[in-house]
Structure 1
Amino acid sequence: MTVLLRGVLICVSILLTCYVLRKIRHSKMKIEDSIFWVMFALLLVAFSLFPRLADFVSRMVGTYSTANFIFAFMIFILLVKVFFQSIKISQLERRMTELIQAFALDREEKQEEEELKRESHQE
């Protein structure tokens, strides 16, 4: 792994960690989501501080270069994260639809009750 790549990984890791911590401080990010990103940054730091670890895993996997392994591995991790985010979004959309439907039914029932009250007062 080149010194330039190691430097870029360390810089990106530090910037990512600072950004995540800032978002946590301003309550714009949930703790469980921030744990993923901090662990992601720590993984980048581990690969950049211990390049032999990345070289070893790269050889075990069979990639042509360590840089290719690191990029492919990070893309894989991010794809897994996107998959779980898609699941979470689908669940939230389903819940939102159920809430909207329940709200509409409640509203309709209240309107019917008000109409019945008006009709009974008019008689």
Structure 2
Amino acid sequence: MTLLFRIILLAVCLFTYFFLHHSIKKEKMRIEESIFWLILSLLLLFFSIFPGIPDILARLLGIYSTANFLFLFVIFILLLRLFYVNAALGKLEERVKTLVQNEALRDRREREKESKTGETKE
């Protein structure tokens, strides 16, 4: 891993940390959501401080260069994150659908009850 690439990784890690800190402080991001990004940033920071580890991992996996290994590693981690977010989104969509259906049934029952008693809702 070249010195320039290590410096870029360090800069990105620091930027990520300050961006997360600012986002949490301004309540634009919850702490739970930022943990993933913080861990990923710390892992890349670890790789930039100890470049021998990604070199060894790249060689073990048969990847030509360390930079290619790091890009592949980050892409894989982000794909896992995307899968997790999509699964959570699907659950939330089902919950919203159930809530909307329950609210519609409740409204219908109230209208039927009002029509039976002859009262109008104001």
TM-score range relative to shorter protein = over 0.9
Deviation at 1:90, TM superposition (A): 0.3
- Give me the identity figure in percent: 41
Distance 2:5 2:112 in 1: 68
Cα root mean square deviation, aligned = 1.1
Deviation at 1:113, TM superposition (A): 0.9
The TM-score with structure 2 as length reference comes to 0.93
- Stretches of structure 2 that go unaligned for 5 or more consecutive residues are none
Matched residue count = 119
Identify which range, 69-78 or 24-33, moves more after superposition.
Answer: 24-33
Equivalent residue, structure 1, for 2:78: 78
Distance 2:43 2:23 in 1: 20
The TM-score with structure 1 as length reference comes to 0.92
Distance 2:91 2:26 in 1: 26
- Residue 29 of structure 1 aligns to a residue in which SS? coil
- Stretches of structure 1 that go unaligned for 5 or more consecutive residues are none
Distance 2:107 2:31 in 1: 36
Equivalent residue, structure 2, for 1:43: 43
- Residue 17 of structure 1 aligns to a residue in which SS? helix
Distance 1:37 1:17 in 2: 9
Show structure 1 runs of 4+ deviating over 6 A: none
The answer to whether residue 65 in structure 2 is matched with residue 65 in structure 1 is: yes
Deviation at 1:23, TM superposition (A): 1.5
Deviation at 1:34, TM superposition (A): 1.0
Equivalent residue, structure 1, for 2:4: 4
The code of the aligned residue for 1:64 comes to Y
Distance 1:24 1:15 in 2: 14
Equivalent residue, structure 2, for 1:106: 106
- Residue 118 of structure 2 aligns to a residue in which SS? helix
